[in-house]
Amino acid sequence: MRIFSLFLLIISTYIINAQVVTSTSNPVIGTVLTQSGAIGFDTNQLKKTGVNQDWDFKAMVHNGVKIVSKYSDSKSSTYSSVFPESNILQETTNQSDAFLLVNNSGSHFIGGVLQMPGAPNGYIAAKFRPVITFFDLPMQLGNKGNATTSFFYNIPKEFIPDSILNSIPFQIDSFRLRIDITRKFNCIGNGTIHLPQKDYPVVQMDFSMKPAQKFEVKVPIFGWIDVSQFIGGGQFSEFIPTTEGIYFLSPNHIGPVAVFNRTPGTETYDMALVDYEAINSSNKINDIIINTYPNPANDLLFLGCKKDFNEVKVFDVAGNLISIFKGNNQKLDISELSKGIYFINILSHNKLIGFSKFIKM
């Protein structure tokens, strides 16, 4: 009996250790993380929390979106002098470059470069203080975190329109943009996630990053004062969007094996990003490619779909849901979309029946 109890203890210890994410999951120079967009999953599975859960997502299918993150030596970047503490540069499809400090305690976000037409040199180098952590390691069930960081960007007076300067009832010495980011995470489960081609031991984490921007002016005696009420700040929100959802992290796997993006403030999950090897070979995406025309398109896009459908979803190349068209109209009004590359998913009662890719001019 004692031997059997010892056997159970050894097995239990193995299971627990298999669901602790350590520094072996950190990115290293030369590695690449490839993720595929996926739909057709049961959102009820995401409600499972606690110890030794099984999450079944074997029915999901690839929807055409592919995101690649490359990790290199940050010293090779043109902007390395701005982020001397960084040792890893993360370059991700259609996203700003991120500078990381990676060590045994996790991957720490030093800052990033935001491309912004109209800014001096055409970009903003955002250096965050204090440094914020993407994932604290080791990561395991019960871990929680809540931290806020900020970056400041001084804007020369000559770049500020007179109409704005005249609307601010202060004598201005300096002008700056301030963006605060609040990061929260809560490890709410562990167990095994079942994807179409692979199973992984995982830790389940509820995660959010929320930005808030302010415009501040420096005035004599009082110092920096928030004047956001006098100036519209929406033009900056697109660079650091609110993100939240459920992450599944696995030991010895760089980055999450699955990310379920949630529409902020809701329980709606439109798409997942999963490890490329765990889903790609299971797809028959070529069997459901739908021709769209014209391509490139300006204001109208026509679908060549001969199947019955009741919904069309449009995603950008980063996997963000941009538009939803209800009904079975073969003509889509895309006049409000920005220029770029987009993916279309055609669905019949939540089942993917068609896929296409187009360019908006």
Q: Which three-class secondary structure string do you get for the chain?
A: CHHHHHHHHHHHHHHHHHCCECHHHCCCCCCEEEEEEEECCCHHHHHCCEEEEEEECCCCEEEEEEEEEEEEEHHHCCCHHHCCCCCEEEEECCCCEEEEEEECCEEEEEEEEEECCCCHHHEEEEEEEEEEEEEECCECCCCEEEEEEEEEEECCHHHCCHHHHHHCCCCCCEEEEEEEEEEEEEEEEEEEEECCCCEEEEEEEEEEEEEEEEEEEEECCCEEEECHHHCCCHHHHHHCCCEEEEEEECCCCCCCCEEEEECCCCCCEEEEEEEHHHHHHHCCHHHHECCEECCCECCEEEECCCCCCCEEEEEECCCCEEEEEECCCCEEECCCCCCEEEEEEEEECCEEEEEEEEEEC
Q: Please report the domains of the chain, with CATH numbers, ordered by start residue.
A: 2-281 (no CATH), 284-360 (2.60.40.3080)
Is the per-residue pLDDT at 16 higher than 50? no
The owner of tokens 């669905």 is 347
The pLDDT of 89-105, averaged and rounded, is 89
State residue 237's pLDDT score: 43
Residue 7: band (very low, low, confident or very high) from pLDDT cuts 50, 70, 90? very low
State residue 242's pLDDT score: 81
Is the per-residue pLDDT at 3 higher than 60? no
Q: What is the percent of the chain with per-residue pLDDT over 90, rounded to a whole number?
A: 35
Residue 352: band (very low, low, confident or very high) from pLDDT cuts 50, 70, 90? confident
Give the residue, 169 or 58, on which the prediction is more confident.
Answer: 58
Give the residue, 18 or 328, on which the prediction is more confident.
Answer: 328
**pLDDT tens column, 262-318:** 888 888 887 799 998 898 654 555 556 677 888 888 999 999 888 888 999 998 876
State residue 188's pLDDT score: 97
Contact status, residue 308 vs residue 348, Cβ threshold 8 Å: yes
State residue 246's pLDDT score: 96
The pLDDT of 34-48, averaged and rounded, is 89
Residue 14: band (very low, low, confident or very high) from pLDDT cuts 50, 70, 90? very low
Minimum mean pLDDT range among 29-33, 49-53, 110-114, 146-150: 110-114
**pLDDT tens column, 159-197:** 777 777 777 776 777 788 888 999 999 999 999 999 999
State residue 288's pLDDT score: 65
Strand pairing class (351-360; 321-326) = unpaired
For residue 40, CA distances in Å to 35, 63, 194, 258 come to 16, 9, 14, 14
The pLDDT of 73-101, averaged and rounded, is 91
The owner of tokens 């796997």 is 253
**pLDDT tens column, 115-138:** 666 666 667 788 888 988 877 889
State residue 13's pLDDT score: 31
Mean pLDDT of the chain: 82
